[in-house]
Amino acid sequence: MDRISPETRSKLMARVRRKDTRPELIVRRLLHRMGYRFRLHRKDLPGKPDIVLPRHRAVVFCHGCFWHAHTACARGVPPATNTDWWLKKLERNVSRDRRNRNDLEASGWKVLVVWQCQLQDEAALRSILERFLSGDKTEPA
């Protein structure tokens, strides 16, 4: 049973933004402090990546753990109510993300996904971004 009314839930969900989200702003500020310059939400690229670094031919997606079903995080768990609908919705999101990543990589772009739960430790996030943009082939955590 949902703890809040359907009207309140609807208002909460309507406030969820598609771009300029808090995780995205945190990553953008950090990249800017690191000296990188970038473009935002390029419509000509698959998935309209949150951050595009054309000089490095790299894109960064800032994913919310819930909306993109992050399996390694407690926030990635679907709600207990209306579970069938949510599982289908989240699976479509994951499938779309996979397709966009494959299309970008096939076009020669490097792709990094930064999860909402990774934003807690700025030093670790900085390290991930530095490795990614330096061309280091080791997969970030």
**pTM of the predicted model, to two decimals?**
0.84
Whole-angstrom distance, CA of residue 82 vs CA of residue 79: 7
Tokens 């990546």, residue? 49
Per-residue confidence (pLDDT) for residue 138, from 0 to 100: 54
Kindly tell me if the per-residue pLDDT of 32 is higher than 90: yes
Mean pLDDT is lowest, of 27-41, 42-56, 106-120, 124-138, for 124-138
Would you say 24 and 49 are in contact if contact means Cβ atoms under 8 Å apart?
A: no
Instruction: Read off the pLDDT of residues 50-105 as tens digits, 9 standing for 90 and up.
Output: 999 999 999 999 999 998 999 989 888 888 888 899 999 999 999 999 999 999 99
Would you say 65 and 117 are in contact if contact means Cβ atoms under 8 Å apart?
A: yes
Kindly tell me if the per-residue pLDDT of 111 is higher than 80: yes
Tokens 């996030």, residue? 125
Per-residue confidence (pLDDT) for residue 140, from 0 to 100: 52
**Residue 38 backbone class (left: φ over 0; alpha: ψ -120 to 50; beta: rest):** beta
Domains detected in the chain: 19-134 (3.40.960.10)
**Strand ranges in the chain using DSSP code E only, listed in sequence order:** 39-40, 51-53, 58-63, 110-115
